[in-house]
């Protein structure tokens, strides 16, 4: 969940030991998704819950764009396609 300037997680989500590349990619994707909410999604709020899909879709898109551009996971769009 995102708050202004802070992303909170359930401690089970974070691995203290050695995480696999897939787990690291999932964590990075979640961070980028929540950062997209902080920077873009929380600035504009839908009038009602039926517009929530657009806010989440935009955060997904920007999260994957940031993942490809700013991390080691340059093939993140392939993971996106497989996950869907």
Query: Which residues are catalytic, by number?
Result: 34
CA distance 16 to 62: 27
CA distances from 29 to 1, 45, 50, 57, 62 (A): 13, 22, 24, 13, 10
User: The tokens 């696999």 sit on which residue?
Assistant: 20
């Amino acid at each position: 969940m995102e708050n202004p300037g802070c992303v909170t997680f359930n401690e089970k989500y974070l691995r203290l030991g050695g995480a696999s590349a897939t787990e690291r990619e999932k964590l990075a994707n979640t961070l980028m998704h929540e950062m997209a909410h902080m920077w873009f999604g929380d600035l504009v709020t839908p009038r009602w819950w039926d517009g929530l899909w657009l806010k989440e879709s935009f955060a997904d898109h920007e999260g994957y764009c940031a993942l490809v551009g700013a991390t080691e996971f340059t093939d993140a769009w392939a993971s996106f396609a497989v996950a869907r």
